[in-house]
Structure 1
Amino acid sequence: MKTWYHSWRAAIRIARRDAWRFKGRSFLVLAMLALPILGVSAADLTLRSAELSPAQALERDLGGADARVNDPRLGGAALLQDPKADSYAPEGDYDDKPWPDGETDVKAAIPANAKSIVDAEGRAKLRTTHGLLNTQIRELKATDPTAEGIMRLDRGHFPRKADEVAATNAFLESSGLRVGSELTAHGLDATYRIVGAYELPNSLGDAQVNALPGALLAPLDKALAAAELPGTQTSTTYLVSVPGDAGFTWNMVKESNKKGVTVVSRAVTLNPPADSDVPYYKENPPYSGGGSDNTTELAILSTVVGLAMLEICLLAGPAFAVGARRSRRQLGLVGANGGDRHHIRAIVLSGGLVIGAVAAVVGTALGIALTFALQPVLEDWMGKRFGDFDLRPLELIGIALIAVVTGLLAAIVPAVTASRQSVVASLTGRRGVRRSSRVLPILGLSAVVLGAGIALYGSTVSDQVALVGGGSALAELGVVALTPALVGLFGRIGRWLPLSPRLALRDAVRNRGRTAPAVAAVLAAVAGTVAVATYASSSEAQERAEYTASLPHGAVAILSPESAADVPSIRDDVQKLLPTEVRADVDRVVVGKRNCSGYGGGDECGRYEIVLPEAHECPLWSYDNTGEDPASKFSKAERRKLATDWRCSNQRGGVGNGAGDILIGDAKLLKVLKIDDPAAEKALANGQAVSFLNRNINPAGAHDKDAGDAAKGGARGGAVLTQGGPKAGSEGTIDIRMISAADMDAADAASMAGKEPPGTVTSIPARQISAGQNAYGVTMIVPPDAARKAGFTTVPLGAFFSTERLPSDAQEQKLNSELAKTGGDVWLTVEKGFTPENSTTLLALAVFAGLITIGAAGIATGLAQADAEADLKTLAAVGAPPRVRKALSGFQCGVVAAMGVLLGSASGILPAIGLRFTERRAQDQVYARMLDEGWAGGSESTAPFVPVVIPWETLGVLLIAVPLGAAVLAALVTRSRGALARRAAI
């Protein structure tokens, strides 16, 4: 008795022999199925290997220690923490008393019987072969067993003496030094020798230098403090090992918390206590996200896998269909010898099963081998070492099964088609007359309409981005279902084409079962590319519009806010090494000693501030002695109106924001900033300051009582009574208050109470700059003569330069090397304009889509040639020249590519537009909420700009270059003459 087992066994044997007989077609399908498996299995193995277990992560953080004890700088106050020490808070109620602050005696919090070593980190400028490099310094005795695992030695040895250091490979590469080189730090006379190179397993790209505790950071801090140079900011933790196997228990952690420190414990992290045993959670319950993120990730992953399987099926399906047609005589013999339809279906399906199984094994094996071979490259690309080479058999088997399932799915339609063909037609080679499905176009059109409607609803009404993606995917599937009907419509243009393209188009229309899947595969690839390219182009346009230039394009600014003595030399360095044109020197105002900044700092330094006229104060920023938020005094409508009021506007960002409110300069600075205002130049020449913020200036007659009373009434009532402020070109004065070091505390207290702070107020004549000028953050320019008349103390700050052309990278690097010799903190800005980050992405997408398109079109062309060999021989028999064969092959490939690219471009724009509309709606909601709450003065008061930009360049490459390239390539690889055919027996 024959069972299903025997019939399937025979079918698999026939399919295996058939696959081996037609090696070219089998290899083509095998490659299509195996390549995705290779990529997914390699990605799974890479991600799993890079994903550290808790024990591995602790080894890289704690080494061989049981815990890391840290000072949270709460002044030793008792605190509560979560088990991982990610969050902590002082114990008790601090709502009505100041938050504890200050250093803690960490050693007193370490158990008495424990062993501890210091792990200190700071930054310093180290001298390299190129100049100075700001580098992380880590003082840790790496040879101690407690620190084993934190650093991995590559060559040489770790420091053993105080004058020895080790360095990471990243530091050696960027500094130009090597093991054996001498190393010095800026401001320190001591010399150290590099005795080893190591790496940080979690941060391969970090430039770091290791020294023994107390060997580098402490001498460097002392030397810099003596030279009055900026020192290092050192953070110190302790690696602690306790006796016994229990490790640093949760009870020990809570005891240490009472002494004001936080603890990262290996034992607690690996075996955390119950939430009920964590006192910190009583006031701060742990957050539970509910798994929505995992659900979203799973949905995205499922969609990607589904689309990938669909595309493979669309490409592999025609191959099985052609294989079934070329084996139709063999299938007819099966039917003639008693086989029924399900036997024929089993034979064709077995072809997909056999090739899918082989593809699963080959793809998985190659993925594992490739990942193992490229492990160092992958680790360098990811910036960290693998934990283990983590093979997970169940995941790899599941990935491999995708190839088997995909092979079966790709063979379903050809199997059903072959089983419906009569035995007589199979044996005689006649295909019969086949009608196109009338149901499929209706289903496709319905899916397009429904999907577009869902995407539109998701982008304009709902906040669910998944609706946009789901609706777009449904619409794309609808277009795929419509592809056979659309291919038929394309055939109507054949009457106007020459012979070869007309034959190619008619062949594509006549054999829609072969053409439509290839067109659909091209459609799917191009649609995804166009969607991503449209979204990326739109995002780039938004980023370009939101980009705030620091200076005019190509301009250069050099500022030294810490050391005025270095300014003359750095000005000359810039002018000597860069292609500069106009040089505008600027000074700054100091209050107190000449090394003070304009904003205070130090026991002998005061500050200055611009005194706003009372009528110009922003009501949303005007605090009084009650401490109440000023915005709460206004209604929502009033806050919306005030948020865009001129009194509440800030200057745009730029270099000027970091240079201080007052720059001492002349009209050359206007030229560098590209501000063409003859009246402003004349004002500076006449000793008047130029103001770029209209709220700073007191127009003539603005101090009268009526204006002040009106401003007060407008502030309380929310009405904007001073519309627009001083007009461009108006003249008046600017009041500047000088607050000495002795009055700093009193001034801060007065400001908090809403009172006038102490200090000397000086008025200087000023002119309002014309509206619409971008000053790049510069608040106002005061000419040197006016500064001297006002009694200001000034010191050199730097210079602004316009350039003949944009400085090259080599010129900028050479300048940085010269500036490093000064040893001071110098700010160099070269405005290079907006640099899009997506250009490479768009190019890569276009290349990817082009390869997929050419590949899919090439597959369709190869299948067409195999399927239509008799027609080609007929053309040769009736006298067609050899070039017709090449031309026909090229046009067949070009027709498939052109149809797929055209339909894919139209399909891909929909999801991108939907996502951009969703983002626009979300940003409009944020903007409206900002206005309701009274946020003003910055980008919050500007309506969001979320454009939709079509990437015409990418579309042009896809629509023109790709089909043309596919056609030319197909024509070149096609032989001019085919094999001679024997006369068929009559």
Structure 2
Amino acid sequence: MNGWFHSWRAAVRIARRDAWRSKGRSFLVLAMIALPIVGVSAADLTLRSAELSPQERATRLLGAADARVSDPGYGGVAVQQSPDGQRTAPADEKYDSQPVPEGRTDVGKALPAGATLLKDTIGHGKLRTVHGLLHTEVRELKAADPLARGILTPLDGRFPQRPDEVAASSRFLAESGLEIGGTLTARGLEREYRIVGSYEVPDDLEALQVNALPGAFLEPLRKGLEASGLAVPDISTEHLVKLPAGGGHGFTWNMVQEVNAKGVIAVSRAVLVDPPADADVPLYQREGHSPFGQGLGSDKAALVAVATVVGLAMLEICLLAGPAFAVGARRSRRQLGLVGANGGDRRHIRSIVLAGGLVIGFVAAVAGTALGLVLTFALQPVLEQAFGQRFGAFDVRPLELLGIGALAVLTGLLAAVVPAVTSSRETVLASLTGRRGVRRSNRVLPAVGLVAALLGAAIALYGSVFSDQFVIVAGGSALAELGVVAMTPALVGLFGRVGRWLPLSPRLALRDSVRNRGRTAPAVAAVLAAVAGTVAVATYATSQDAQQRAEYTAQLPHGAVSVFLTEDGGRDVPAVREAVQRHVPVDVRADVARLAVGKSSCGPFSSDEGCGRTELVIPKANECPLWADTGTDEDPAERFSKEERRKLADDWRCRSEDGGYVPTNDGLLVADATLLKVLGIDDPAVERALAEGRIVSLQKRHVDATGKVSLRVIADAKAADEAAERNEEVPGVLKAFPAYQVPDGTPSYGIAGLLSPAAAEAAGLGTAPLGSYYSTDHLPSSEQRQRLDADLAKIGSEIQFHIETGFTSENSIVLLALTVFAGLITIGAAGIATGLAQADAEADLKTLAAVGAPPRVRRTLSGFQCGVVAVMGVLLGTVAGVLPAIGLRLTERRQKEQMYQEGRDAGWTGVADLPHVPIVIPWETFGALLIAVPLGAALLAALLTRSRAAVARRAAA
């Protein structure tokens, strides 16, 4: 034991001294190992700090209170809830099939005697800013009260103490242009408020929020909006609860269930910190209300995914760092030979080389972990802004960081294993004299690799053709790739046969790489692994892009613009139209309106008192039988056989309409023929139909057998909704219009029908401005969009704005990043192999110089050595990477075709077209990898290599 300790101690000392002597090589290997450690340790610290503890979550939600209670509006009916209060349901299961009663309950009477309540009310309003109006959340909470401490974080000034004071979130002040000390008003409210402070919401740093005292803002705003005939936003109220002194263990789960029995929902600090078992939660015992959560299978899948990523990362580092350790072993051959000459055996030589990996791995672990700590701490404010919330305490888990550090040490040791074994096999005489001896290639490893590659390809083929499991394809592809990596030395030898047709310098570089496969193969394997991953993801992403492009449904013709506004009877529509006209390169503008029933302030979907709506009637003969209401819980499709359901799935009555959206209840617009130009409908018959007062139907199902379209005018929208819930006939007056059905294949863009303004007036129907459609000369630029957004923000209404830009790939940035990543790995691996080649071929270069070769030969040879490694790795990686991508796409195709057939058998609508799952090869990415990356690596190596060799010194005796 003592001898083992001293031998390793000596080996570590030798390795430390050798690492210090070769600072450049040591820093390179250290950086390779340390950089992933920096990323992993920083990610661990960030995620642990961002993950709030139960106490921290409770403080942000409850402040210093014991609980937060609210009225669900069930009229005092007993409820059941999840421990966190996110899921609730009436306790009586009869309400699963019938409406829940509406009404309020007295929250205070449900709480224990002596409890302290603090009101917390949230609503919304359009607040006047420097630029116009800004839709903002208004929170009435006495934030200065000790009970609310922790919910809002003060930044500057103070929280309001008087009814005419407010505090504002920092984000609101930045967006509005207002400052502390200024005044604040709201649309529909004449009263002014003074801004006395700023704050932030820890869980939502982007919150646009204003804080006022309870009753000081929302109630006057509600009255002002009602008096002006404007829409009143919803207001929700909750209460913070503090139990009287001596409350024992706080607001327990039993107390939560007691208030549930009185129709009140409660979120308790004690329950959040120590939640009850699922078996003790009545809600979870009901069918359809089981707790959400990741099961054991998903946990295992996540662990397998993490283990796979870590394993591949370690393999990549080992393949890249292994040649660098081999460089050190080559340069220390004489030193290792002296160890053998003085009585050291192979075990000691292996220990010295492995100690080099141990030393650099340990330093990389310490440096990487320390740098990860410093970076995470320094960048925490930036990370918090990116996450949109404040982190909890800076959470350092020593055991996790030690595990990450141990991973670095293990990686260093693994990277030094092959150089250690290779160095220990050299004889003392060869090490001292510099002779290389006779080298025989290993025939077992390529044979094992060939078997693994064939077996992996067979597994991947089976998974893609006969199975629906992605994991089979991924596993087989990974096995095949590892087999190709094992075959790399033999494949490098095959590349040597190309050398006879090459000029002198590339022929010398290729022959040198083939002759010294021990240093070439790991670098080629590293490039292979990086390129294979890039090619696989690029092929898969490009194929997905082609599929999404084929599935993309345009909402408007390319370059067209739509803008809608449904609030306040379209009062601000003219201002919106003018703003769009100023900043968008408009060619044609088509104004549209909607049919309006009831008060002018009613929106198209409003069910408030005095509000109505219109509905396009679908004749019975045009209703899809698969959608027909049976009056029971039976699925309508069950009434048909499988063959009948397949036929109905192709029936035009059951087809889904194309894309597009119109913010009306029935998709009917009031417009003239100008809209046809914007929509690209060139049909004189449509123009004549509009001029004659007919409805132009863009959806076939609304036209009856007589060629008419019926419109139901509903005076009371709320009564109509209640009748629909009871499966009763919806009350309303029917108006019939002669109709013109556009030819099949004409895109509707979500519009069900068009009615001219004159026809609407003749039928006695009121209208309200809705917005406009625009065709453009060209797509607006980013600057034009920004100026337009600024003008629309000043109007302050909820505006629905859309520009049809066509399909935009979301994978282009990913593909570019992957290509750059693979290029960097390729250049790095090829550079390492080139450095090793220069160390090994120093004698050959001196011989070339001695026979009259010019100095530039050294640069040229170095560049071609680097380029040869890059080309071999990229070629092999491209072949290895295409296999998993094709396998995964074939598996997806089989799954989608199976879903397609099952959907047709079940009578699902919208599955009439066979799914399109193409396999597309990204030739641009391949070209960049096959040409640009090796060429760049060769040029970089040539530029960084000295033309003249250093003067050789005579070896010491």
Report the TM-score when normalising by structure 2. Answer: 0.94
Match of 1:80 in 2: 80
Give 1:149 deviation, angstroms: 1.0
Give 1:36 deviation, angstroms: 1.6
Residue type of the alignment partner of 2:670: I
Match of 1:65 in 2: 65
Structure-2 change in CA distance of 1:40 and 1:256 (3 Å): same
Query: Partner of 1:111: helix, strand, or coil?
Result: coil
Give 1:599 deviation, angstroms: 6.3
Query: Partner of 1:975: helix, strand, or coil?
Result: coil
Aligned pairs (5 A) from 1:676-755: 676-698=682-704, 702=705, 732-741=707-716, 745=719, 749=723
Residue type of the alignment partner of 2:708: T
Q: Is the 8 A contact 2:29 2:324 kept in 1?
A: yes
Match of 1:487 in 2: 492
Whether 2:218 is the aligned partner of 1:186: answer no
Structure-2 change in CA distance of 1:479 and 1:750 (3 Å): closer
Match of 1:974 in 2: 945
Residue type of the alignment partner of 2:936: G
Aligned pairs (5 A) from 1:806-817: 806-817=779-790
Give 1:181 deviation, angstroms: 3.1
Match of 1:671 in 2: 677
1:367-395 CA deviation, whole Å, 9 max, x = no partner? 21222222222222222222111111111
Residue type of the alignment partner of 1:51: E
Structure-2 change in CA distance of 1:127 and 1:917 (3 Å): farther
Give 1:218 deviation, angstroms: 1.6
Match of 1:762 in 2: 735
Q: Is the 8 A contact 1:591 1:597 kept in 2?
A: no
Structure-2 change in CA distance of 1:237 and 1:868 (3 Å): same
Q: Is the 8 A contact 1:179 1:197 kept in 2?
A: yes
| Matching residue within 635, 643, 649 for 2:641 | 635
Structure-2 separation of matches of 1:592 and 1:983: 104
Match of 2:614 in 1: 608
Whether 2:164 is the aligned partner of 1:124: answer no
Moved more, 887-896 or 943-952: 943-952
1:158-203 CA deviation, whole Å, 9 max, x = no partner? 2222222222222222223333332222222222222222222222
Residue type of the alignment partner of 1:919: E
Q: Is the 8 A contact 1:217 1:232 kept in 2?
A: no
Structure-1 separation of matches of 2:693 and 2:107: 59
Residue type of the alignment partner of 1:146: L
Whether 2:869 is the aligned partner of 1:869: answer no
Give 1:294 deviation, angstroms: 1.6
Moved more, 127-136 or 910-919: 910-919
Match of 1:916 in 2: 889
Aligned pairs (5 A) from 1:162-173: 162-173=163-174
Moved more, 529-538 or 622-631: 622-631
Match of 1:259 in 2: 262
1:664-706 CA deviation, whole Å, 9 max, x = no partner? 22221111011233333343344443221222223xxx45xxx
Q: Is the 8 A contact 2:699 2:748 kept in 1?
A: no
| Matching residue within 654, 663, 666 for 2:660 | 654
Q: Is the 8 A contact 1:623 1:752 kept in 2?
A: no
Match of 1:948 in 2: 919
Query: Partner of 2:948: helix, strand, or coil?
Result: coil
Query: Partner of 2:241: helix, strand, or coil?
Result: strand
Structure-2 change in CA distance of 1:626 and 1:813 (3 Å): same
Match of 2:459 in 1: 454
Match of 2:589 in 1: 583
Match of 1:619 in 2: 625
Structure-2 change in CA distance of 1:927 and 1:190 (3 Å): farther
Give 1:2 deviation, angstroms: 7.2
Structure-1 separation of matches of 2:694 and 2:97: 50
Residue type of the alignment partner of 2:252: T
Q: Is the 8 A contact 2:564 2:663 kept in 1?
A: no
Structure-2 change in CA distance of 1:913 and 1:171 (3 Å): farther
| Matching residue within 277, 283, 286 for 1:280 | 283
Match of 1:957 in 2: 928
Provide structure 2 residue ranges, at least 5 long, that are not aligned to the other structure.
Answer: none
Match of 1:886 in 2: 859
Whether 2:388 is the aligned partner of 1:413: answer no
Query: Partner of 1:104: helix, strand, or coil?
Result: coil
Moved more, 540-549 or 499-508: 540-549
Q: Is the 8 A contact 2:133 2:795 kept in 1?
A: no
Structure-2 change in CA distance of 1:905 and 1:207 (3 Å): farther
Moved more, 594-603 or 232-241: 594-603
Structure-1 separation of matches of 2:454 and 2:84: 51
| Matching residue within 383, 386, 390 for 1:381 | 386
Structure-2 change in CA distance of 1:561 and 1:346 (3 Å): closer
Q: Is the 8 A contact 2:230 2:601 kept in 1?
A: no
Structure-2 change in CA distance of 1:583 and 1:271 (3 Å): closer
Whether 2:239 is the aligned partner of 1:268: answer no
1:190-223 CA deviation, whole Å, 9 max, x = no partner? 2222222222222222222222212222221221
Structure-1 separation of matches of 2:21 and 2:790: 68
Q: Is the 8 A contact 1:625 1:754 kept in 2?
A: no
Structure-2 separation of matches of 1:152 and 1:448: 59
Q: Is the 8 A contact 2:711 2:734 kept in 1?
A: yes
Whether 2:402 is the aligned partner of 1:397: answer yes
Aligned pairs (5 A) from 1:138-177: 138-177=139-178
Moved more, 106-115 or 683-692: 683-692
Structure-2 change in CA distance of 1:278 and 1:577 (3 Å): closer
Query: Partner of 1:663: helix, strand, or coil?
Result: strand
Q: Is the 8 A contact 1:534 1:951 kept in 2?
A: yes
Structure-2 change in CA distance of 1:9 and 1:499 (3 Å): same
Moved more, 567-576 or 208-217: 567-576
Whether 2:361 is the aligned partner of 1:360: answer no
Q: Is the 8 A contact 2:329 2:353 kept in 1?
A: yes
Report the TM-score when normalising by structure 1. Answer: 0.91
Structure-2 change in CA distance of 1:626 and 1:974 (3 Å): closer
Match of 1:351 in 2: 356
Structure-2 separation of matches of 1:594 and 1:288: 47
Match of 2:558 in 1: 553
1:777-833 CA deviation, whole Å, 9 max, x = no partner? 111222334434444333433221111122234434444444455555443333233
Query: Partner of 2:445: helix, strand, or coil?
Result: helix
Q: Is the 8 A contact 1:349 1:415 kept in 2?
A: yes
Match of 1:249 in 2: 252
Give 1:548 deviation, angstroms: 3.1
Match of 1:935 in 2: 908
Structure-2 separation of matches of 1:158 and 1:663: 49
Moved more, 82-91 or 133-142: 82-91
Query: Partner of 1:189: helix, strand, or coil?
Result: strand
Match of 1:706 in 2: none
| Matching residue within 434, 440, 450 for 1:435 | 440
Residue type of the alignment partner of 1:493: V
Match of 1:714 in 2: none
Residue type of the alignment partner of 2:700: N
Structure-1 separation of matches of 2:601 and 2:613: 12
Residue type of the alignment partner of 1:137: V
1:263-318 CA deviation, whole Å, 9 max, x = no partner? 11111222234455444344355567542222111111111111111111111111
Q: Is the 8 A contact 2:604 2:664 kept in 1?
A: no
Q: Is the 8 A contact 1:657 1:777 kept in 2?
A: no
Structure-2 change in CA distance of 1:977 and 1:171 (3 Å): same
Q: Is the 8 A contact 1:594 1:793 kept in 2?
A: no
Q: Is the 8 A contact 1:131 1:817 kept in 2?
A: no
Query: Partner of 2:701: helix, strand, or coil?
Result: coil
RMSD over equivalenced CA pairs, Å: 2.6
Query: Partner of 2:151: helix, strand, or coil?
Result: coil
Structure-1 separation of matches of 2:384 and 2:577: 44
Structure-2 separation of matches of 1:19 and 1:113: 73
Structure-1 separation of matches of 2:188 and 2:663: 30
Whether 2:819 is the aligned partner of 1:846: answer yes
| Matching residue within 757, 761, 786 for 1:784 | 757
Structure-2 change in CA distance of 1:272 and 1:825 (3 Å): closer
Q: Is the 8 A contact 2:134 2:796 kept in 1?
A: no
